[in-house]
Chains A and B, each alone.
Chain A
Amino acid sequence: MALIDLANPTRFLALVARVLPWLAGATLAAFALGLGLAIAAPDDYQQGATVKIMFIHVPSAWLAMLIWAVMSIASLGTLVWRHPLADVAAKCAAPIGAAFTLLCLFAGSMWGRPMWGTYWVWDARLTSVLVMFLMYLGLIALWRTVEDPSRAGRAAAILTLVGTLNLPIIKFSVDWWNTLHQPASVFRLGGPTIHPSILAPLVVMALAFTLLFVTLHLAAMRNEILRRRVRTLRLMQAHGA
């Protein structure tokens, strides 16, 4: 099946229907393995058992960035290649990305309290993720503000691409700002070196989360295509078809 077939919504729906159960199964299996490895992982020399929070925090951060990248590519698809399903992909990725960004922030906070004694620290990484969360929410607000999905899609695509430009600038700025304002303490998120017994559960959990995203994303895209069909049919009905 050629990639071009993915441009046809009906074929896409058929593909999703076939693939989704396998993806869901693979996700479950990966999570089972990952959680097993996480539970079995030894306590860290410095952090104790709280290192296990890393198995949630780091994959969430990875997903937050991956999903933003997916939205950026989808935005290019909308603006440059006029791919019919690109804006569907972008729209459905945003809430999933926002959810995992929020999870990343919360897990980071849960890790921070035992480690640094405070629930929140304006360190470079957490602050950059907070700004990314704000940008996700702005995009979702944008999608919901416009009734016509394809007009919303073009506006959101432009904003996403500008946001993508902004992210490295934000990271750089916040790094700078951080060195200005916190000269004494040096917070090392994630530790200096990663021991293999920590690495294995981390990688598996990252894989599991990624599979989860793909499953959710395809399912959400299917829902969005159906939603647009409902909308079209209702418009036809209103116009007296």
Chain B
Amino acid sequence: MKVGLGLHAGFIVAAYAAAIAVVAALIAWVVLDHRAQRRMLADLEARGITRRSAREDDS
């Protein structure tokens, strides 16, 4: 028997919203950081600066 979230709906919603916000922030951090690192590595490679192992194997 569901009667909606009841009296304290605000608190329940706030808790779940916070969870979504925290998870979204973590995912954003990981994704954006990944892009930034990849970009910097590509940039360095374009300037000819690579790791020794990358130069010796295939690139």
Contact = CB atoms under 8 A, between A and B. Distances in A.
Q: Do chains A and B touch in the complex (CB under 8 A)?
A: yes
Interface of A: 10, 42-43, 48-50, 52-53, 56-57, 60, 95-96, 99-100, 102-103, 106-107, 110-111, 113-114, 212, 216, 219-220, 222-223, 226-227, 229-230, 232-234, 236-237, 241
9 contacts: A50-B6, A96-B26, A99-B22, A113-B8, A114-B8, A222-B34, A226-B37, A229-B41, A233-B49
A103 B18 contact: yes
B30 A219 contact: yes
Q: Is the interface of A mostly helix, strand, loop or mixed?
A: helix
Per CB-CB distance, the 6 closest pairs between chain A and chain B, nearest first, are A226-B37, A114-B8, A110-B15, A49-B6, A110-B11, A219-B30
Nearest to A42: B1
Q: Is the interface of B mostly helix, strand, loop or mixed?
A: helix
B19 A226 contact: no
A95 B28 CA distance: 13
A237 B8 contact: no
Interface of B: 1, 3-9, 11-12, 14-16, 18-19, 22-23, 25-27, 29-31, 33-34, 37-38, 40-41, 44, 47, 49-51, 53
A232 B34 contact: no
A50 B3 CA distance: 13
B19 A43 contact: no
Contacts of A111: 11, 15
